[in-house]
A and B are shown apart, each in its own frame.
Chain A
């Protein structure tokens, strides 16, 4: 999966958590890097921060949908994550700070086969 967040320390923590639970993780630190990664490789899930330099999460979300990428997206934000999920039409939202096991549970739910048609 692809994780996009501008905070290096937080990104390290998320990667350690996901990798220790057996996920493969690619990282980007802003929307532009995130879009480049999406063009280069296919991902089953995107975990996306909102407040980032250069290109923020909202802009990246709209751009990736415009480009036809239909992978599920989890918004990960310190401020109004749920309202951003509704606004953008993303599949899930998690507020910072979060419990790492809630992160894993939500990711597993999004990747479950019956979650494909979930809005």
Chain B
């Protein structure tokens, strides 16, 4: 290895600059880099190298063949927490955690046989006991006759890299979980729709009439379920892209009538609607408010026993803001889940058993309502069931 035989690469502790604990300023450096005329060319080259070592962000350390530290730059002081004074003369093993001590035997074995250790990632221990992930490159140091007398080691803190890798892995796991969930939730209704269609087309003549009716009913209801999931995913995507539409007056009573009417066509259970007189218009985006009400009504239907009524009440809160209550006699929301039900993909242990879903509906409701400057809550009803309610800012005509 001709490179390591050159005088320039030799680390020589006769040059105190290489050990200076002070980080040179740019000015110091330019002084050094501009050759000093009274020094020889070789001395200039050494001073130049020493300045580079001193100003390096990486830890640059040299040790002899017994692992005793000979030089220790400011980068090493910052990375490992020991000053040059504390480190020089001690074994490099002081920064190696117990479970990594055998690495040093291997490193010294390689150095003695003239080999390098390249970008080896491991852990080292700082003076305060903290472990720090590092990448090290170790090369043999030779004297003028070419004999290996020690090793130079460059160590880089890879905490940020490790953290980035961890975040990447986490986000991959979340993405994988999300894909699994979306695949399951979208492909299951499609399987039912397509399968029933094929069944009616290919075996329709063999099926008894009630089976044909069931297949058609399932095609319609699973199509609606599919549509609901797609609408929610689109709503979430729009909200994440921050593309909230301009706030317009929303006829909240009209929206409630429309959503209740469409829900009545999909379920056998009674749904009542009570509208307070002279309701103020809400300020918002009608499509968003429709999605919220559809989700709340569809949940009330999904989680209530057959025949149990749903009540929708549109009123105003004490601040005269329009307020909507969707009241059911379903299983209720356990106290500890009251905030969590609005988190994306949250499904309580009981709802998982009761009905399919991906835990998107209420998360969409909360994000839509909050994007409008409103608030949404769930409170238990006396006599059982839940009161899902939200309020929206009243629309105020802009005078300008």
Residues of A within 8 A of B (CB): 6-7, 9-10, 12-14, 16-17, 20-21, 51, 53-54, 77-80, 95-101
- Asked if residues B180 and A98 are in contact (CB atoms below 8 Å), the reply is no
B173-211 CB mask vs A (1 if < 8 Å, else 0) is 000000110011011111110111011001100110001
Contact A96 B202, beta carbon cutoff 8 Å? no
B211: nearest chain-A partner, CB-CB: A16
Contact B198 A99 (CB under 8 A): yes
The answer to whether the Cβ of B109 comes within 8 Å of any Cβ in the partner chain is no
In the complex, A82→B356 CA distance in Å? 23
Enumerate chain A residues within 8 angstroms of B195, measured Cβ to Cβ.
10, 13-14, 17, 97-98, 100
- Does A78 lie within 8 Å of B187, measured CB to CB? yes
B215 at the interface (CB under 8 A from A): yes
Query: B159 within 8 Å of A by Cβ?
Result: no
Q: Are A96 and B188 in contact (CB under 8 A)?
A: yes
- B198 to A100, Cβ gap below 8 A? yes
The size bracket of the interface on B is: 20 to 34
- Bound together, the chains give a CA A78 to CA B180 distance in angstroms of 8
Query: Are the C-beta atoms of B211 and A96 separated by less than 8 Å?
Result: no
Can you identify 26 A-B contacts, CB atoms within 8 angstroms?
Answer: A7-B188, A9-B218, A10-B188, A10-B191, A10-B195, A13-B196, A13-B199, A13-B218, A16-B199, A16-B207, A16-B211, A16-B215, A20-B199, A53-B353, A78-B191, A79-B179, A79-B184, A96-B187, A96-B191, A97-B187, A97-B191, A97-B195, A99-B194, A99-B198, A100-B195, A100-B198
Smallest CB gap from B356: residue in A: A7
Q: Which residues of A contact B119 (CB under 8 A)?
A: none
Residue of chain B at shortest CB distance from A51: B184
With A6-B356, A13-B218 already in contact, the answer to whether A97 and B190 are too (CB < 8 A) is: yes
Cβ-based interface call for B171 (8 A): no
Residues of A within 8 A of B191 (CB): 10, 13, 78, 96-98
| Chain A residues with CB under 8 A of B187 | 78-79, 95-97
